[in-house]
């Protein structure tokens, strides 16, 4: 059950941080900065707790089960222990430690990015099959149009005044669309924040 104490603490903390953002009273600013520092520390601790849960709650459990996934879980656990050990010994800011971690992480994420590029290209080709509606057709045509415009294939338009102005106008369309989307996102974020601030939405039990 949700504890009243947790709800009161959450609402008060939210109000103090929000008031510190809108009003520049020194006491409010000091309280806001301190609370945000606590939040960063707590977020770090939450990360540590979650990683521990991932290793001991998920992968150790999987080691006990039969199946080919055990091997990968074993690798995850061994790499986690060695990274943790090296991090504690050298310190996370040590250049050699950073170099080793980056040398593993960057190639893996780059490979995933390459897979993503192929996946996106292939899936985009199938988009019209998936979205057989006006939205899908307009989206598809817009993608083609802006790919052509941004590819530089229409560079000759600099010599044709009307075409140049037309293309310049087209360049404004994505910004206008993004602005509309972001206004909606801002309103939705405000609504979510307010629900949590007034205590009607409580994603914590306390």
Angle, CA 33 vertex, CA 20 and CA 15 arms, to 5°: 40
Question: Among 34, 102, 119, 150, which residue sits at the site for another protein (rule: CB under 8 A)?
Answer: 119
Q: Give the residue with the Cβ less far from another protein, 28 or 154.
A: 28
Asked if 168 touches another protein (CB under 8 A), the answer is no
CA dist 56 and 61 (Å) reads 7
Q: Give the residue with the Cβ less far from another protein, 28 or 157.
A: 28
Question: What CA–CA distances, in Å, run from 158 to 147, 150, 164, 167, 173?
Answer: 18, 14, 6, 10, 19
Q: Residue 206, Cβ neighbours under 10 Å: how many?
A: 13
Asked if 201 touches another protein (CB under 8 A), the answer is yes
Binding segment for another protein (CB under 8 A), chosen from 19-27, 77-85, 92-100, 145-153, is 19-27
**H and E: helices and strands count for the chain:** 8, 0
- Helical residues (DSSP H) of 53-94, grouped into ranges: 60-64, 69-90
CA dist 128 and 125 (Å) reads 7
Considering only residues 61-80, where is the footprint of another protein by CB under 8 A? Answer: 61, 69
- Write the interaction track for another protein spanning residues 78-117; mark x where CB under 8 A is met and - where it is not: ---------------------------x--xx--xx-xx-
Binding segment for another protein (CB under 8 A), chosen from 49-57, 86-94, 95-103, 162-170, is 49-57
CA dist 50 and 57 (Å) reads 9
CA dist 146 and 74 (Å) reads 47
Binding segment for another protein (CB under 8 A), chosen from 21-29, 81-89, 150-158, 160-168, is 21-29
Q: Give the residue with the Cβ less far from another protein, 49 or 153.
A: 49
- Helical residues (DSSP H) of 131-160, grouped into ranges: 134-150
CA dist 32 and 39 (Å) reads 10
* Residues in touch with another protein (CB under 8 A): 1-2, 18, 21-24, 39-40, 42-51, 53-54, 57-58, 61, 69, 105, 108-109, 112-113, 115-116, 119-120, 123-124, 127, 130-131, 135, 139, 143, 178, 180-185, 187-198, 200-201, 203-205
């Amino acid at each position: 059950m949700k504890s009243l104490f947790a709800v009161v603490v959450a609402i008060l903390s939210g109000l103090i941080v929000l008031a510190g953002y809108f009003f520049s009273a020194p006491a409010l600013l000091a309280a806001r900065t301190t609370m945000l520092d606590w939040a960063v520390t707590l977020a770090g601790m939450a990360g540590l707790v979650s990683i521990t849960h991932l290793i001991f709650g998920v992968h150790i459990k999987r080691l006990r089960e039969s199946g080919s996934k055990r091997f990968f879980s074993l690798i995850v656990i061994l790499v986690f222990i060695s990274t943790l050990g090296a991090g504690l010994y050298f310190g996370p800011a040590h250049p050699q430690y950073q170099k080793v971690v980056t040398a593993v992480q960057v190639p893996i994420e780059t490979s995933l990015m390459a897979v993503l590029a192929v996946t996106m290209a292939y899936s985009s080709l199938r988009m019209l099959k998936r979205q057989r509606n006006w939205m899908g057709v307009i989206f598809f045509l817009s993608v083609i149009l802006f790919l052509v415009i941004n590819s530089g294939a229409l560079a000759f338009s600099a010599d044709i005044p009307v075409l140049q102005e037309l293309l310049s106008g087209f360049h404004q369309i994505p910004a206008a669309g993004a602005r509309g989307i972001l206004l909606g996102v801002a309103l939705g974020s405000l609504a979510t924040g307010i629900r949590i601030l007034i205590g009607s939405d409580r994603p914590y039990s306390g």
